[in-house]
Chains A and B, each alone.
Chain A
Amino acid sequence: MSDSIDTAAVAAPVPTGQSGTVVRSTVMRRLLRNPLGIASLVILGSIALLAIFAPVLAPFEENFANITKTLAPADSVNILGTDSAGRDTWSRLLFGAQLTLLSALLCAGVAIAIGLPAGLIAGYYAGKFEAVSNWVVSILMSLPGLIVLLTIRAAFGPSVWISMIAFGVLISPSYFRLTRTAVQSVRNELYVDAARVSGLSDLSIIARHIFSVVRAPIIIQTAAIAGVAIAIQSGLEFLGLGDPTKATWGVMLSEGFKNVYMTPTLLLWPALAMALTIGGLVLLGNAIRDALEDGEKIKHRKKKTVPAESTTADPAKAGQSRKSVAAVEVGTEHHLIKVTNLGVGYPQADGSVKKVVDDVSFHVDRGEILGIVGESGSGKSQTAFSILGLLPDNARIVGGSIQFDGNYTVAPGDDRVSQERLSKLRGKRISYIPQEPMSNLDPAFTIGYQLVTPMVRVLGISKAEARKRALKLLTDVGIVNPERTFEAYPHEVSGGMAQRVLIAGAISCEPDLVIADEPTTALDVTVQADVLDLLRELQQRLNIGVILVTHNFGVVADLCDRVAVMQNGRLVEEGTVRDILRNPKEQYTQTLLGSMLEGKTPMTMLVSRPGSAAQKEPVA
């Protein structure tokens, strides 16, 4: 599987061998570069400072009441006014912050103390412990928090701490599930296996390899849970079920609501304090998440700002652009497909365009099979998808043209594939065979449905007629019991059979051109041979043109008439299959063929001089 069709990987390739040292704490740095991250840190930091120094900063005791001055507006003594008992709003707000933050910390602490170890154990060892904890979790998660807290209040009386411990227990499943999922995803990672082979103890493996995976998600989760804890604790106090001797935002909100007809501003301050604190936590969580997800992701561009710098396109041709659909060059109409100087690129965050296909030209005629060969990152799949018009949304055509049967699908100067023109061709005249058989069938629909629908839509035939044709097609692709496969769901058939189904789908509407993207790479060798036989037989019988994208020269030799070799987005060499495989002119092609194992003397060096196999891996 040298070339995955994962286009995201092509768009944002792994940086190879860059110079410079590893930036540690990149997450923290990215967090500080994000305005929202800074804002949230500033907000939360100020609130925390106010809370810590509340006894110093507050002009009055939290319950000091001046009954001669109730519901007073703001003045120089009571900077936010007083409530109905004559207590200072600003002072109560500060003490409320103290209690609120402490209770949120307590709740998150309890939840982590329960959820994290349980999640680690359940994820790493699975078995009975996991089954039991899953059951407990499903119960805890089906209990509404506030109702449980009411029950706890009825049982234990009003106490912020007891209710927050209880809520911590109740919400611990969120940590449990987070940790368990993360651990499960790395438990079977090969690097954990490698550590096991090295004899690392389970404890060291968890500490070294697994804990590092859950650390960041735990921080994000804690921000969210602290917010929820504040909301629910204040809600309880708002209902008058909190500790009446304590100044809290919930009590203040309820006090404000009681006096809403007289001094509505009393409502505003506690509500603002809550919104700021919870909002700060939410923003912080989001900012950390953004910082973790690679900052180098390409920003989504709006449709209007398309900068696609015109690049290698021939200026003469670029001149013809914009004229809606120009006529193709005279004398080339007879080619089934003709790609001329094609360039495909991805706009980057910094405004530049990263080219993945550059100046590629080739053509395919009816009844002909062209192989496009190359290693991963050579741009061969991107070329195929631009013919199909199935490039990712953020891809741009940065040069050249594509014409199909005498008409442009990408005219010179176009910066995107015209979906309007291609939607008339796709499925009907151009079709596609993907690489991974299983992930390319919708698991929720039967195989029959997925074969019949395109025929009904594209050919306009009746369902019954389409069903008949689908069964015939399944027989044609060598499926022994077509009725059973027709009724089956994708998960009920093998990979080889699923690939046959996909081939049947590709030829169902009698296309002129089939684009097969590594159609046998995911299959076992013996199955591959059968599928190659099938492809050859169908191609000859239907006289269709085929573009076969592959990394395997054996597959090329088996099927293709002509070959195009690609490297780093460029077309290196093109010619008939015999010329290229026997007398490659370009050095790259020679190297590739020289790497083939067939016909080599076993136990000898392939590309290195003896004794120098440890030569440096060239940077791709």
Chain B
Amino acid sequence: MSAVVEFERVVSIAGSFPVLTGLDLRVEQGEILLVRGENGAGKTSLLRACAGLISVNSGNASVLGFDMRADRRAPRRYIGLLGHENNLYRDLRVSEHVEFRAASVGAKASDTAAALEQVGFPQQLWTVPIISLSAGQRRKVAIASLLVGRPQLWLLDEPHAALDTESRKNLDAILKDASASGATIIFVSHENPTTKDIASRVVTMDGGRIMEDSGAG
């Protein structure tokens, strides 16, 4: 097994605020890592640093074997990132949106149907504008938009938010499935103790660093 994420003493500064303050983290391929912590602990920043969306100001960082200080754009197309927002073009119809996301990561438009079915999105709503969907349904479309790209690394910020119990179980199944076929998953959650079930490891963040690690030592 090789390390998918390898962070050593990573400091990351957003504006003039240090969001990561010397963070150490090593995540192996196939792990499902749950990141917990209070609001403002740096969980979201960790995900964005893994995605290469914020720069690493000091320390060593590599993701999927790419040195993030040399070129943080390099690993992006192998990564699926879902933040607080759903990244949806609200004016588009569901299938149009997922097709665009599929095409933009080089996947086939025909994978769209499979992805929407996998997240349990009802077929009669595929031609509905996203703007008329409920929050939970939008979240599903967002997850399907990631799924079509078959990412090697999933970075999910509160992925269970807005989903009902049935859909949560379904999402957990999808994540386990992806992990079993070699993908690595890092997800953030601060509210729900039941999300712990699928995690193979839990870390707790505070003040921009990892403070507790269930898998350490």
- Do A and B actually bind? no
Q: Which residues of B contact A (CB under 8 A)?
A: none
Q: Which residues of A contact B (CB under 8 A)?
A: none
